[in-house]
Structure 1
Amino acid sequence: MHTYHHIRLGKTSAKVKNSFDELLPDPWLKAEDGIFRFRSYMQARAGREKYFDLCAVGEFFQAEKLNNYAGGIARKYPEIKQDVAEEVMNLVFRKLLPLLPDTTYNIGIHQIRITTDDRRPGYPAPEGIHKDGFKYIAIYCSEIENVTGGETTLIPNHDGGNDASTFKLHAGDAVIFNDVNYQHYTAAVVPLLPGKGYRDVFVITFDIE
C-alpha cells in the first residue's frame, strides 16, 4: 500500500469506551504544557494466517529527528488492558490487515485520550508535522465528546502540501496510510460548547517483521 485508506471500522464497545476513563496522564509531556494527553500501550504480532499474539510490553522509542517533542527517550507506558487490546486487534485483523501487503507485522497499539477545556486546547500532535518511523500507521477514532478541530492531514513527501488530504475522523472512522510516503499532523481540539471535551483514539503502528 503506497497511499492511504479512509474507512469505517465501526464503533467500539462500551467496555472499550469506558477504558479510556481509566488512562493515566502521559508522563512524557513537557511540564510547561500541562496535562492534556492520557495514554497506554501494547505490542502485538500479527499475520494474515488467521492469528495474532499480544506481546510483553517494551519501551516505545522514536529518534529525535522524527519526534522533536519526545524523541530520543525510551518511553514506558502503562499496558492496555488485555480484553481491550484483543478487541482492537480483532478489528485490525479483520479490516486493516487485508489492506496491507500479505506478511507478518510487529504492531504497536497506542490508546490515547486528548482532553481540552475552556482554558486550554488539547494537542494530539505537539511535535507538529511529522513521521512516526514505521511502515504503516492507522488512526482509529473511538469517541469524540464536545470537541471541534482534530482534523488529520496527510502530506505526500513529493510536494509542499499541494496534494495534502485532510480528514475529520468521527467515532468509528479510521485512516491508514504509508508512513514512509507521507508526513502527517492532527490539529488541536477545543471545546465545541463551553466546558470540557475529549478525543479518544487508537494509533496503531505496523512494521514488517
Structure 2
Amino acid sequence: MPSAVLPGPLTRTDIGEGIRKHGWVFAPGTAFDTGPGAQAFRQLSQAYENLEPDGYLADGGAYRFRRHVRYSHQAASAGVLRAHPPGPYHQSAEVNPFAGGSPRWFAPVTGAIRVNPFLQRLLLHGVGVFSELAGAEAGRTLDWELDVHLVRIRATAQEEGLPSPEGVHRDGFDYISLHLIGRSGVTGGRSIICDPAERPLARPLLAAPLDSLYADDRRILHGTEPVRLDPAAGRAYGYRDMLLTSYRRTG
C-alpha cells in the first residue's frame, strides 16, 4: 500500500489527510518544534523517573511503569484542557483480553505534569488533528475526552520488556496518538501496524524523541515488538518511554 510515512514539518491537515487515506501516519520527531518549550519537555521527560509499577500485568512481569490522567476538551472553550480527578481506566476484555474487562486504577500524574506546557501543547495539537478530521466528517465541532498515559517499559538481562503484552490490538477509542519521549540501552521495540484482519502493513521504529504515530483506532490494529537490554550499553537496565493518548468523541 502507499506509504503512510510523511516528512516533517507537518500541519494538522497533513496528518489528518494521511489518516483519512491510510488509517495511520508516522510523524517524525522533527515535525514537532519544542522551541521555547524545551525546558517543559525536559520536565516531562524527567517525570518518567518517577512512575509507579503497573500492577495489572497478567503475566506477573515487572517491566511496565505508568501514570495516568484524563482530560476533557470542549469545542466551545478551544485551547483549554480540563483535568479530571483521578479515576479508573476502562477497556473491554474484547479489545484487551490481557488486562481489560475491569476498571484499572493507575497512579495519577503529578500536578506539575498535569499542567506541563509542552504536554498541553502536544495534546491540543492532537485535539486539533482529530477535530479537523472527525469534525469534517460529522459536519460539526466536537468535544473530546482524552486518556493520557506516561509509560516506561524496562528491559533487564533477566526480563525483556513487553510494550504490548496483549499483542496487536485496538484500544477501544476513536483515535490514538503514540509519542516516543526517549529510549536508552535497548534494542527492538518496532511498532506493528496491521489491518483489521491482522495483516501487517508496516513496522516503523520510533527511535528519536517525539517520533509519533497517529491512527484511527477503528481502522487499524497496533502493537509493539519486545524491547531487550542492549549488552553494548553496559548498564543494568534499558528503557523505552512513551506518551500514549486515546481520544474519544463525547459530543
Would the TM-score normalized by the shorter structure come out above 0.5? Answer: yes
Q: Which residue of 2 aligns with 1:155?
A: 194
What does 1:185-200 align with in structure 2 at a 5 Å threshold? Answer: 185-192=223-230, 193=232, 194-195=234-235, 196-200=237-241
Residues 85 and 146 of structure 1, relative CA distance in 2, 3 Å threshold: same
- Segments of structure 1 that go 5 or more residues without pairing to the other structure are none
Matched, 1:40 2:67: yes
Paired residue type of 1:208: R
Q: Which residue of 2 aligns with 1:89?
A: 120
Identity of aligned pairs, percent?
21
Runs of 4 or more, structure 1, over 6 Å off, are none
Note the C-alpha offset of 1:5: 2.3
Note the C-alpha offset of 1:19: 1.0
Paired residue type of 2:203: T
* RMSD of aligned alpha carbons: 1.8
How many residues align? The count is 205
Q: Normalising by the residue count of structure 1, what TM-score does the alignment of the two structures yield?
A: 0.90
Q: Does structure 1 retain, via aligned residues, the 8 Å contact 2:67–2:149?
A: yes
Q: Does structure 2 retain, via aligned residues, the 8 Å contact 1:128–1:185?
A: yes
Note the C-alpha offset of 1:13: 2.1
Q: Which residue of 2 aligns with 1:133?
A: 172
Greater mean alpha carbon deviation, residues 17-26 or residues 79-88: 79-88
Matched, 1:4 2:45: no
Q: Normalising by the residue count of structure 2, what TM-score does the alignment of the two structures yield?
A: 0.76
Q: Does structure 2 retain, via aligned residues, the 8 Å contact 1:10–1:173?
A: no
Paired residue type of 1:89: Q
- Segments of structure 2 that go 5 or more residues without pairing to the other structure are 1-18, 35-39, 136-141
Note the C-alpha offset of 1:92: 1.5
Given the alignment, which residue of 62, 82, 91 partners 1:62?
91
Q: Does structure 2 retain, via aligned residues, the 8 Å contact 1:4–1:177?
A: yes
Given the alignment, which residue of 51, 59, 83 partners 1:23?
51
Q: How far does the alpha carbon of each residue in 1:56-97 deviate from its partner, in whole angstroms, 9 at most, with x for none? A: 12211111111111111210011111322333122121x322
Paired residue type of 1:4: W
Q: Does structure 2 retain, via aligned residues, the 8 Å contact 1:10–1:172?
A: no
Q: Which has the higher strand share?
A: 1
Higher relative contact order (CA 8 A, sep 6+): 1
Residues 160 and 18 of structure 1, relative CA distance in 2, 3 Å threshold: closer
Q: Which has the higher Rg, Structure 1 or Structure 2?
A: 2
Q: Which residue of 1 aligns with 2:150?
A: 111
Q: How far does the alpha carbon of each residue in 1:134-177 deviate from its partner, in whole angstroms, 9 at most, with x for none? A: 000111111101111111111122x5415x12211122211110
Note the C-alpha offset of 1:17: 1.4
Greater mean alpha carbon deviation, residues 198-207 or residues 9-18: 9-18
